[in-house]
Amino acid sequence: MTQRSFLIILLFFLSIFSCNKDKWNEPTNVKFIVDINRSSGIGGKLAFTSGNIVLENFSFDGNRVQGDDVYFSNSYPTGLNINYNSNATVGELNYDIPQGTFTKIQIAFSTFGSTSDNHIIIEGTYNMGMNNNYPIRFEFKSKESFSVLSQNVSGASEIILKKDNPLTPKIIFDPIYWFLPISQNLLNSANVVDVNGTPTILINNSTNTEIFNIIASRIGEGVRVIF
The helix/strand/coil state of 2 is coil
Per-residue pLDDT band for 7 (boundaries 50, 70, 90) equals: very low
The residue-averaged pLDDT of 133-162 equals 97
The helix/strand/coil state of 89 is coil
- 107, 148 contact by CB (below 8 A): yes
- 7, 85 contact by CB (below 8 A): no
Per-residue three-class SS string for 137-156: EEEECCCCEEEEECECCCCC
User: Is it the case that residue 19 has pLDDT exceeding 90?
Assistant: no
Give the pLDDT of residue 2.
Answer: 63
Per-residue pLDDT tens over the stretch 80-135 = 999 999 999 999 999 999 999 999 999 999 999 777 899 999 999 999 988 889 99
- 28, 162 contact by CB (below 8 A): yes
| Cα Dmax for the chain | 93
pTM: 0.86
Give the pLDDT of residue 130.
Answer: 83
Residue of 106, 54, 105, 43 lying closest to 80 (CA atoms): 54
The residue-averaged pLDDT of 145-150 equals 98
User: pLDDT higher for 77 or 130?
Assistant: 77
Give the pLDDT of residue 3.
Answer: 56
Residues 6+ apart with CB under 8 A from 87: 33
Per-residue pLDDT tens over the stretch 170-215 = 999 999 999 999 999 999 999 999 999 999 999 999 999 999 999 9
Rounded to whole angstroms, the Cα distance separating 125 from 28 reads: 39
Residues 6+ apart with CB under 8 A from 65: 100, 101, 102, 103
Give the pLDDT of residue 58.
Answer: 99
